[in-house]
Structure 1
Amino acid sequence: MADPLQVEVVSAEALVWSGEAESVIAKTVDGDIGILPGHSPVLALLVPGGVEIVCPDGRSREIVAVDGGFISVSQDRVSILSEYARMAQELSVADAERELADARAKLDAGDESEETKQHLHRATAQLRAAQKAR
């Protein structure tokens, strides 16, 4: 069996998750990407959503909400860098749906500020991650 991946998820504020993984699945601007040990080097842009980290036991997994950012893979090290990242177990679908509805209402009312767009991206990420973690 190949050595596990070394994974770090880092937000602008803190190291959100670090550890070994059997695989990582993330959504990039070009579609879903799956990373296994031995994967060739890659650097890709992430879209808001839930990054899935499959633990070495192959049965348990961690889901992390990210509002975009980058995924970097090199020599069995996976780095996920995002301005916002939060563990899915800290989120609820109902709260995320409310946040998303609030952000969309602001956009529909004509508020196209960067703050409102960021709110939309984070709410989208929270909802996708919370749903994936169910």
Structure 2
Amino acid sequence: MSLQLEIVTPEKRVLSETVDIVVLPGSEGELGILTSHVPLVTALKPGELSYTKAGKTESLAVGTGFVEVSGDKVSVLTDMAMGEGDIDEKAVEEALARAQERLENLKHDTGSEELAMVQAMIQKSMAQLHIKRRRTSI
């Protein structure tokens, strides 16, 4: 049996595939989903989402969002989903440097929404670099 994986961003449907397994960064840690998984809804954290189809594993860098598992369908609603080919390493490194500099300036304001936004930007950039660098180092 298999799973129907749907990944949607505000801009487009990124993926609609039948897959064997999905592994994603959930709010409580890494979550593996197989056929007949218990229904659930959870928050998606920035990181790596991978899926396996016919023995081949693919990975995407994902941002924040939500995941719904119902029956044999996994729906991922996220603000970012990028494959290795979509990632501009230099641009991501520059964005990461800007975000880290901004974070240093916000450290004294630990409860602000801006601080949470900057931390999320850093996590998204790190996820993209992880995907890009792992793929290019092979």
Deviations 1:108-132 (A, max 9, x none): 1339737645533431331233345
Cα distance change, pair 87–40 in 1 and its aligned pair in 2 (3 A): same
Asked if structure 1 preserves the Cα contact closer than 8 Å seen for 2:46 and 2:120, the reply is: no
Greater CA radius of gyration, 1 or 2?
Answer: 2
Asked if structure 2 preserves the Cα contact closer than 8 Å seen for 1:26 and 1:50, the reply is: yes
Deviations 1:72-108 (A, max 9, x none): 1111100111122222332255553443222111221
Cα distance change, pair 133–27 in 1 and its aligned pair in 2 (3 A): farther
Asked if structure 2 preserves the Cα contact closer than 8 Å seen for 1:89 and 1:133, the reply is: no
Q: Which runs of 5+ in 1 are unaligned?
A: none
Runs of 4+ in 1 over 2 A off after TM superposition: 92-99, 109-122, 127-134
Q: Which runs of 5+ in 2 are unaligned?
A: none
Counterpart AA for 2:72: D
| TM-score using structure 2 length | 0.79
Give the corresponding residue for 1:44: 42
Q: Percent identity?
A: 29
Distance 1:91 1:125 in 2: 10
Give the corresponding residue for 1:110: 106
Counterpart AA for 1:130: K
Asked if structure 2 preserves the Cα contact closer than 8 Å seen for 1:50 and 1:132, the reply is: no
Q: Report the 3-state secondary structure (helix = DSSP H, G, I; strand = E; otherwise coil) of the residue aligned with 1:72.
A: strand
RMSD of aligned Cα (Å) = 2.3
Give the corresponding residue for 1:96: 92
